Amino acid sequence: MTTGVVVMAYGTPATPDDIEAYYTRIRRGRPPSPEQVDELRSRYVTIGGISPLRQITEAQRARIAEALGDDFEVTLGYKHTSPFIEDAVAAAPSDTVGVVLAPHYSKASVGEYVERLGRPTIESWHDLPEWLDFHAEAVRRELANLPARTHVVFTAHSLPERVLVGDPYEAELATSATEIARRAQLDDWSIAWQSAGRTPDPWRGPDIGEVIAELDADAVLVCPQGFTADHLEVLYDLDIVARELADQRGIAFARTQMLNDDATVLSALAERVRSLST
Ligand code: FEC
């Protein structure tokens, strides 16, 4: 009998024409203003027109499928674009489990994927040894080419303060950053937030921009531990905006490699999926 696995991820517009509908879904049905759509479109244009996220997510799914073998039917379910999580559930065998391509749990992010799937799901995998090693190695690799006075910052997507009350997200981010720093033998590191929404709510900080503005170091190395792929929040918010802030201060900027379709980590994640399904 085949076991279903739904690999869940954020999703990205398939074409520039889909940007407005995508943005409306992210805003839970509230249409963005034409200015907001233009502003988002111009961020996509800066990174090449559309995001590489769709292709990378498919490659991540393929790695997990390859590791699980023929007894598993592995499909994709997106939060904000087609095929949606609900489409994947409708087509899935009764015996189906889920995994989200985001390592840390928050009820406001992973919690929504889990609820929409309605099947047993790995809620968090920020403690996966292969994933921690991947980041430690990526940090060490970059540090080899940076000045001695380099500050390492582990970032994740900010969330509004109100949704973080009683939520494990911050503690999980601290646990994995501490463990990566230990494995990479770092002395000078901190945690920061990025990509906060443009809403009047207070969002959790400090933002990576504030950290760079106040940094007393010759270089900053950003490790975006909260994300698994090269996408807009990394290629624009870090590689363009954060880099520019560092340039203005005469501080060197580097960013660690993203997980993307790394076979070692995704095979280890697939083993967690296998144990959940048995
Ligand atoms: O196309 C791409 O390459 C980018 C995809 C993308 C990823 C991503 C990851 C996360 N987000 C999270 C939370 C929020 C909250 C809001 C929000 C808004 C946006 C907008 C775009 C966007 N997000 Fe996203 N996010 C990605 C893209 N995100 C575009 C809208 C414009 C903007 O504000 O930049 C605020 C919603 C609101 O307005 O009410 C909250 C979290 C993650 C990481 C976990 C995950 O991947 O699921 C948390 C990738």
Give me the residues of the chain with pLDDT under 70, please.
none
Tell which atom from ligand 1 comes closest to the C-alpha of 23: 30
166-187 pLDDT tens trace = 999 999 999 999 999 999 999 9
- Predicted confidence at residue 198, as pLDDT, reads 81
Q: How many CB atoms lie within 10 A of CB 27?
A: 14
Position 271 scores a pLDDT of 98
Report the residue count for the chain: 278
My answer on whether omega of the bond before 52 falls inside 30° of 0, hence cis, is no
Ligand 1 centre from 232 Cα, in Å? 9
Cα–chain-centroid distance for residue 28? Answer: 20
Q: 258: helix, coil or strand?
A: coil
Say if residue 83 is preceded by a cis peptide, omega within 30 of 0. Answer: yes
221 Cα: distance to centroid of ligand 1 (angstroms): 22
3-state secondary structure (DSSP) of residue 171: helix
Residue nearest to atom 35 of ligand 1 (CA): 197
Angstrom distances, CA of residue 7 to CA of 151, 210, 237: 34, 34, 25
Contacts 24+ apart (CB under 8 A), 79-82: 79/8, 79/9, 79/10, 79/11, 79/112, 79/113, 79/116, 80/10, 80/11, 80/22, 80/25, 80/26, 81/11, 81/12, 81/13, 81/14, 81/18, 81/22, 81/25, 82/14
Instruction: Tell me the residue type at 47.
Output: I
What's the pLDDT score for residue 1?
Answer: 75
Atom of ligand 1 lying closest to residue 231 CA = 3
Any idea what the Cα angle at residue 94 is, between residues 88 and 99, rounded to 5°?
A: 50
Could you identify the atom of ligand 1 that is nearest to the CA of residue 233?
A: 4
Ramachandran angles phi, psi of 92, nearest 5°: -90, 150
Give me the torsion for CA of 161, 164, 166, 172, rounded to 10°.
-140
Integer Cα distance of 209 and 244 in angstroms: 10
pTM (predicted TM-score): 0.97
Q: Amino acid identity, residue 46?
A: T
- 144 CA to centre of ligand 1 in angstroms: 32
What was the pLDDT predicted at 120? 97
Q: Which of 102, 112, 123 has the alpha carbon at shortest distance from 226?
A: 102
How many angstroms is it from 12 CA to the middle of ligand 1? 10
CA dihedral 76, 80, 85, 90 (to 10 degrees): -110
